[in-house]
Structure 1
Amino acid sequence: MKPAAFGYDRPADWPAALALLAAGARPAAGGQSLGPMLNLRLAQPESLADLRHLPGYAGVAVADGIVRIGAGTTHATIEDGAVPGRLGAILAGVARRIAYRPVRNRGTMGGSLAHADPAADWVSVLPAFAGPLGGHAVALGPAGERRIPLDGFMLGLFETALAPGELLRAVELPVLPEATRWGHWKFCRKTGEFSKATACLLAVPGAAPRAVLAALDAPPLVLPDATALLADPEGESERLVAGLDLADPWRAAIARTALRRAAAGAAA
């Protein structure tokens, strides 16, 4: 199929982008999710606002212990080491397992978050960097910027905490010490497929370890203190998954495996 007819605008600055959004335009960047939706006519916007050329929409900056990643930064850019230090190594490991390189060349971190597919990679791991670690999504609206904790950004299936008239401008994550431990595992039956269960565990020295279980057709399950999971991966994963509403036994088994393997990776 081909998309229904739509208009195209390329705003030169953020006020122009917000004005287009207020007028009903659909924001677009990499288009890796929106493009198929247009072709299938699941989305039929009157016009698209191409955000790719906005100043500061892509790129990485570090200041005062915070790494600011523009929402338009591609998965490939992160995979190739644009984010420095231990944080960069962790994010690069996540990025290189997203679909295929052609998808990573165009897909963006902000697009993945704002689309809020529960199986998406950044939706599944970035909540681990929230809480006391201070990870936020930076939204821009008519009243200016506001910061949304990453563990509260996704509210439901394809639903986020962005208010009407707001655009996702950036993601802010903490600079991590080199001693930070990380475990991440996701299950895909074949390369490029969306995950059926994803888990990660982040252990920063001096802070409680945080874990996330995601890709289960619901917002991520965030564990603000995953000490018990590190201490007893088998028993704690059984307990956590038993409390979820998973109808299929195979899905529960994969979720338990994801938690155990993420804990093992962090422990190593």
Structure 2
Amino acid sequence: MKPAPFEYWRATSIDEAVQGLAASAGTAKIIAGGQSLGPMLNLRLARPSVLIDIAGVTELKRVQDVGGKLFIGAGTTHAAIEDGVLPASAAGLMQAVARRIAYRAVRNRGTIGGSLAHADPAADWILALTALDAAVSVRGPNGKRSVPVQSLMRAPFTTVLAEDELIVGIETDKLSSTAVWSHQKFSRKVGKFADAAAVVVLDDTSGFCRIVLGTPDAPPVVMRSLAEALLSDSKRRLPLDAIYSAVQTAGTAADSFDIQLQTTVLARAIEKLVLQ
């Protein structure tokens, strides 16, 4: 199939894009890399009256090291992160996550902001940035606001963003030099979305620890009880039955196979952390 008819606008600034969204009264869609929206247009799952292209907005590609925080423009591509656009002191986990997203052709075009706005629960950035306790910077007609990534996804493919709001960037605290992390996912084929994934971040210097479980059917789940247990255990090990119990409590598994899969992904992520 081919897309339903639409008007095409090329925005040259963030303000122009926001004005276009506001003027469309909820009928416009933003496009940057088009790796998620393109197929939806072709299948007519998305039928915007106006398509606002923000790929040329240089403001959205800004990456800035601001003291203890890092700002990443929403238009930054997965490939740019994979290739080292982030400062070396902050690259770590994000660079590793970027290089495992789909295929290089997709990474060349797809953007970090587009992935978050699309809100596919099986995607990598919503999981990793939840683990980093990051926040998205949002711009709309009424000004700016910050939304924790953990709170961004209301349900699969649904966010808390208003129809006239645009993600302009991501802000995250930088980890210390002693921080360790791991990213584990199970996919039936390289390049496909994961059936289950987990990210573990542990920074002894700041006392920060997060374990996040990702599934294809629901927003990422922060496994607080596991993180607290890991932080308090000097050997950084968790018994398998504790992980299994936490997965059951999380309610993300549809059946015994899902419970086993999610338990295994979490256990391997924690094991990889210990081996560093």
1:131-172, Cα deviation, whole Å (9 max, x unpaired): xxxx21100011221111121111211111212311000001
Paired residues in the alignment total 264
Is residue 112 of structure 2 the alignment partner of residue 109 of structure 1?
Answer: yes
Is residue 61 of structure 2 the alignment partner of residue 58 of structure 1?
Answer: yes
Q: Compute the displacement of 1:64 (Å).
A: 2.0
Classify 1:240/1:96 alpha carbon distance in 2 versus 1 (closer, same or farther; 3 Å). same
**Structure 1 residue runs without a partner (length 5+):** none
State the AA in 2 paired with 1:208: F
Distance 2:154 2:164 in 1: 17
Q: What residue number does 1:202 align with?
A: 201
State the AA in 1 paired with 2:129: L
SS of corresponding position for 2:58: coil
Q: Is the 8 A contact 1:68 1:170 kept in 2?
A: yes
Q: What residue number does 2:243 align with?
A: 237
Distance 1:189 1:5 in 2: 36
- Same amino acid, percent of matched pairs: 44
Q: Is the 8 A contact 2:62 2:76 kept in 1?
A: yes
Classify 1:233/1:95 alpha carbon distance in 2 versus 1 (closer, same or farther; 3 Å). farther
Q: Compute the displacement of 1:16 (Å).
A: 1.4
TM-score normalised according to structure 1 size: 0.94
SS of corresponding position for 1:93: helix
Q: Compute the displacement of 1:63 (Å).
A: 1.1
Residue correspondence of structure 1 range 95-134 to structure 2 within 5 A: 95-130=98-133
Q: What residue number does 2:233 align with?
A: none
1:220-251, Cα deviation, whole Å (9 max, x unpaired): 10134603254314122111111215223222
Is residue 77 of structure 2 the alignment partner of residue 71 of structure 1?
Answer: no
Q: Compute the displacement of 1:52 (Å).
A: 1.2
Classify 1:245/1:74 alpha carbon distance in 2 versus 1 (closer, same or farther; 3 Å). closer
State the AA in 2 paired with 1:193: K
TM-score normalised according to structure 2 size: 0.91
Distance 1:104 1:181 in 2: 25
Q: What residue number does 2:35 align with?
A: 32
**Structure 2 residue runs without a partner (length 5+):** 231-235
Q: What residue number does 1:265 align with?
A: 272
The Cα RMSD (Å) is 1.4
Q: Compute the displacement of 1:58 (Å).
A: 1.1
1:171-226, Cα deviation, whole Å (9 max, x unpaired): 01112212111011000011111100010110012323111001240011013460
Bigger shift: 245-254 or 223-232?
223-232
Q: What residue number does 1:16 align with?
A: 16
